[in-house]
Copies of this chain bind each other. A is one copy, B any other.
């Protein structure tokens, strides 16, 4: 009595869900404190002082209309502040608030972009490994997901992408830095990627948008400056969430921005605002629009994450795992010994280490460890991690 597509989506996740249920059972039996849970990207760190202070001040001295409807695209002053903030950080928009729409997080923003630009049956190219909900986002918005695997070191495979960009392609989504691989793409590669998109757009006579999903932008361990591909391409779009950088994933606040040089900027901005309304978001939560506007520069301290990363990398290498050090995010994505990621994850679970199988990310043969946890959990994980060679 539910739709056929929902039935399939529920069935796809059922293996993971069974594991999830088993993990609750194990926590009950052995005590949650004895299980190293690295399944979710749910940051352990508290929100930065600036965020908590802004929230306290707003609640203590509420401006008029604090809890009333805001325009669908967001409070004009908040959009303006985000546009200026992006510009100040060399990340695009600028003086015009119209190039920013405040959203309920990056997932909300992604659905809005897709709703605005996809005609039924349009193709959306995804690079695996990908954020697990992308394919469903595309299906929601009447599109067809086309998956292109990355190279063995998780960089975009330009030749394969060129091949995949056909006459029905409307959009390519990249997640930068990437969840789960942690890879940041070098600027030369992004430039080449944009050139390929331009070339295929011309060849097919149809604009292909490039959407860069950047919730982990501030969580980078390299010294190179971050480049948003949306900046390199007039049809570039950017989605962002404050969930990770401000440790407020439960509050559902983020934005989308477009390259102001887009010849369709005005039409796109109107379509995004309308999509925000009709998809049922109406707008991003009002109180949180105010909070982030007053704390745009407040970002969590990433040093504890860097220590977790280094500590786990060492343990993985010592125990014989193949792993590419992540440039950013709070994930590691090692190869699974033996190849079968679901079997490996089940075995690790019985050793009281909870990790996510690569299949969830469209990329079997790997597993993801989320290290946005406390030091105790990292220590426990190091202990529980089975040797890769037995």
Query: Hey, which bits of chain A sit against chain B, CB under 8 A?
Result: 1-6, 9-10, 13, 40, 42-43, 47, 55-56, 59-60, 65-70, 104-105, 107-112, 115-119, 122, 133, 136-137, 140, 142, 207, 247-252, 263-264, 267-268, 270-271, 274-275, 277-288
Contacts and interface: CB of A to CB of B under 8 A. Distances in A.
Given A3-B117, A286-B250, A10 B271 contact: yes
Contact of A282 (B107, B274, B275): B107
16 contacts: A2-B268, A3-B118, A3-B271, A13-B274, A42-B69, A56-B60, A70-B250, A104-B281, A107-B280, A107-B282, A108-B281, A137-B278, A250-B285, A279-B280, A280-B281, A285-B285
Given A43-B68, A278-B133, A283 B111 contact: no
A10 to B, nearest CB: 6
Contact of A68 (B5, B42, B140, B278): B42
A271 B69 contact: no
Given A42-B69, A109-B280, A10 B270 contact: yes
Contact of A281 (B119, B252, B264, B271): B252
A267 B280 CA distance: 23
Given A6-B116, A56-B59, A252-B252, 20 more contacts: A1-B268, A2-B267, A3-B116, A5-B119, A6-B115, A6-B274, A10-B271, A13-B274, A40-B69, A56-B60, A59-B59, A67-B250, A67-B251, A104-B252, A108-B280, A108-B282, A111-B279, A136-B278, A279-B280, A285-B288
Nearest to A275: B6
A286 B243 CA distance: 12
Contacts of A140: 115, 278-280
Contacts of A264: 1-2
Nearest to A263: B1
Contact of A119 (B3, B42, B65): B3
